[in-house]
């Protein structure tokens, strides 16, 4: 991290684990759970949030001195909505199938609480460069959880990663299936996303006792 | 009948929390006490009941492809659907602000008990999600849109009420330390979600009685086929 000062680097590394937006700050959970049945959807969602958060944080930070505080929520919503429309249109143009899988959840990036939370807590009080780093850091923390959940759900549920079979062929019984393994289709059902995130929280808090709630 | 079907479907089968994970942030943050959970749940029902029909009107007369035809023949080709996110969120933010002002004026006690949560409803994904699902599921009439708004709000209300009650009790249980608080709430919600999955057959299989013991194998087979056909129909 030669490019960044120690304080700036912390903005990126902190949200990855010890101050993770999903598992510690409890923000932005809706979309994190709903689209993680496939790794590809998780990746695209992460990139979309990365874009919206990075750009949005900079925009809000640049406007922070001219926004009247009474209407700041509406201003923030309009900025996010405009950015999300861009993402949605790009997805529809270049990845139509995927935009169908993500359905309304692209639109729900607008109400993703991580974004509003970071605007409120950081971008309204800091300069553009630091806000940008903060946005990127939090979006990466979000992405990490999404990718972990997506990885386990797709691997155990469908035996594939990014749609490519990695555990062998379930019909001809090659690979792991030859010793009697079966895909656990239940992993693809919505409730399992919650349980997987619950388990991630368990693992994380067992490793770092300081995070345990009373 | 259509109304009744939509009503039960939005409460139980497509429950906002357990089936599509909407409004999870406030669901997790505000569910520590039953009293506050009830207040927020009621506010969500109220705001959904206003914003979904309003956004339905917007969608029908401004946003849909060809919706501007009431302005004259020149406008028939217009498709403004890409603007729906920004229009919907503007409606929601305005309505929440309005509700806040009205509640503050007429019931200061309710206003104080809701506190910060009232403005936060604007960024609750359940509210925007309600309008977006209303759009993507192509709900046909204003009455159905109102029904959808109220019933999905009731579904959310039930979910947050249930988890708040469980969390009040679980304080006395011996949960492993790293799992306390957030972790166990996630897992309980997951288990409740599995329970709610069982409502899935409520509308599709409801008109067929469960096969009795004395029915022969052929009958069961025929019924299985019928059910399979029903299921594929639902998937399509």
Q: For the residues of B159-195, what is the DSSP string, one character each?
A: HHHHHHHHHHHHTTS---GGGTTHHHHHHHHHHHHHH
Query: pLDDT grade, residue B203 (50/70/90)?
Result: low
Question: What is residue B97's three-state secondary structure?
Answer: helix
CA atoms within 13 A of residue B119's CA, in its CB half-sphere = 12
Cβ–Cβ gap B86/A78 under 8 Å? yes
Distance from CA of B85 to the nearest CA of A (A): 6
Q: Which of B20, B47, B85 to mutate to test the interface with A (most CBs of A within 10 A)?
A: B85
Given a cut of 80, whether residue B154 has pLDDT beyond it is yes
CB contact under 8 A, A191 and B18: yes
Q: Which of residues 206-235 of B touch A (CB under 8 A)?
A: none
Does A162 have pLDDT greater than 80? Answer: yes
Closest partner residue to A29 (CB to CB) among B25, B93, B187 is B25
Residue range A110-158, pLDDT digits in tens = 877 788 888 878 888 888 888 888 888 888 888 888 898 889 888 888 8
pLDDT at residue B165 in the model: 92
Using H for helix, E for strand and C for coil, what is the string for chain A? CCCCCHHHHHHHHHHHCCCCCCCCCCCCHHHHHHCCCCHHHHHHHHHHHHHHHHHHHHHHHHHCCCCCHHHHHHHHHHHHHHHHHHHHHHHHHHCHHHHHHHHHHCHHHCCCHHHHHHHHHCHHHCCHHHHHHHHHHHHHHHHHHHHHHHHHHHHHHHCEECCEECCCCCCCCCHHHHHCCCCCHHHHCHHHHHHHHHHHHHHHHHHCHHHCCC
pLDDT band at B216 (very low <50, low <70, confident <90, very high): very low
Q: Give the distance from CA B74 to its chain's centroid.
A: 38
Residue burial A41-53, b: 16+ Cβ < 10 Å; e: rest:
bbbbbbebbbbbb
Q: How far apart are CA B140 and CA B156, in angstroms?
A: 23
Q: Are B106 and A57 a contacting pair, CB within 8 Å?
A: no
Read off the pLDDT of residues A24-63 as tens digits, 9 standing for 90 and up. 777 777 777 778 888 888 888 889 889 998 899 899 888 8
pLDDT at residue A23 greater than cutoff 80? no
Residue range A2-15: mean pLDDT, rounded: 73
Tokens of A123: 């971008």
Q: Which residues pair with A164 in a beta bridge?
A: A161
Lowest mean pLDDT among A107-111, A205-209, B137-141, B232-236: B232-236
Task: Kindly report the pTM of this predicted structure.
Answer: 0.80
Average pLDDT over residues A177-201: 84
Q: Would the CB atoms of B182 and A77 count as touching at under 8 Å? A: no
- C-alpha B67/C-alpha A51 separation (Å) is 32
Q: How far apart are CA A64 and CA A53, in angstroms?
A: 16
Q: How far apart are CA B76 and CA B79, in angstroms?
A: 9
Provide mean pLDDT across the span B100-114.
78
Residue contacts between A and B (CB atoms, under 8 Å): 144
Cross-chain residue pair B191–A191, CB shorter than 8 Å: yes
CB proximity under 8 Å: B 15-34 to A: 18-25, 28-29
Question: Who's near A147: CB < 8 A, 6+ residues apart?
Answer: A39, A42, A43, A46
Contact list, A194 vs chain B (CB under 8 Å): 21, 186-187, 189-190, 193
Q: What is the mean pLDDT of residues B88-110?
A: 82
DSSP code at position B211:
P
Closest CA to B54 of B113, B109, B118, B128: B128
Reported as a pLDDT band with limits 50, 70 and 90, residue B210 is: very low
- Name B221's bridge partners: none
> Is the Cβ–Cβ distance between A133 and A70 less than 8 Å?
no
Looking at the predicted structure, is the pLDDT value of residue B78 above 70? yes
pLDDT of residue B115: 64
């Amino acid at each position: 991290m030669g490019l960044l000062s120690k304080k700036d680097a912390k903005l990126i590394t902190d949200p990855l684990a010890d101050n993770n937006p999903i598992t510690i700050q409890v923000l932005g959970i809706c979309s994190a759970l709903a689209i993680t049945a496939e790794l590809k959807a998780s990746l695209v969602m992460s990139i979309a949030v990365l874009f919206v958060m990075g750009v949005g944080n900079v925009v809000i930070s640049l406007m922070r001195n001219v926004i009247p505080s009474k209407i700041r929520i509406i201003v923030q919503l309009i900025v996010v909505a405009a950015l999300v429309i861009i993402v949605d249109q790009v997805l529809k143009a270049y990845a139509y199938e995927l935009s169908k899988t993500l359905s309304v959840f692209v639109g729900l990036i607008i109400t993703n609480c991580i974004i509003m939370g970071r605007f409120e807590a950081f971008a309204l009080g800091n300069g553009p460069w630091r806000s940008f780093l903060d946005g990127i850091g939090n979006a990466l923390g979000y992405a990490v959880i999404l990718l972990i959940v997506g990885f386990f759900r797709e691997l155990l549920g469908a035996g594939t990663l990014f749609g490519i079979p990695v555990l062998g062929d379930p019909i001809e019984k090659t690979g792991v299936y030859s010793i009697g393994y079966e895909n656990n289709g239940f992993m693809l059902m919505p409730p399992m996303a919650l349980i997987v995130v619950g388990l991630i929280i368990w693992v994380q808090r067992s490793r770092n006792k300081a995070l345990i709630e009373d | 009948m259509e109304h009744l079907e939509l009503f039960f479907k939005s409460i139980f089968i497509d429950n906002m929390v357990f089936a599509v994970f909407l409004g999870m942030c406030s669901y997790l943050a505000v569910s520590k006490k039953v009293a506050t959970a009830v207040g927020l749940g009621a506010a969500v029902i109220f705001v959904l009941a206003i914003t979904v029909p309003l956004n339905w009107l917007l969608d029908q007369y401004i946003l849909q492809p060809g919706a501007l035809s009431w302005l004259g023949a020149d406008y028939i080709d217009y498709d403004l659907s890409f603007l729906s996110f920004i229009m919907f969120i503007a409606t929601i933010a305005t309505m929440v602000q309005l509700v806040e002002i009205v509640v503050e004026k007429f019931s200061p006690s309710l206003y104080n008990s809701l506190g910060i949560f009232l403005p936060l409803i604007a960024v609750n994904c359940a509210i925007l999600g309600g309008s977006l699902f209303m759009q993507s599921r192509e709900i046909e009439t204003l009455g159905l849109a109102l029904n959808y708004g109220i019933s999905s709000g009731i579904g959310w209300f039930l979910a947050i009420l249930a988890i708040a009650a469980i969390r009040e009790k679980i304080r006395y249980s011996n949960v492993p330390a790293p799992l306390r608080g957030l972790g166990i709430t996630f897992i309980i919600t997951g288990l409740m979600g599995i329970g709610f999955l069982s409502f899935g057959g409520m509308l599709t299989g409801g008109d067929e009685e469960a096969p009795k013991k004395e029915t022969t194998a052929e009958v069961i087979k025929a019924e299985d086929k019928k059910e399979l056909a029903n299921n594929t129909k639902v998937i399509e």
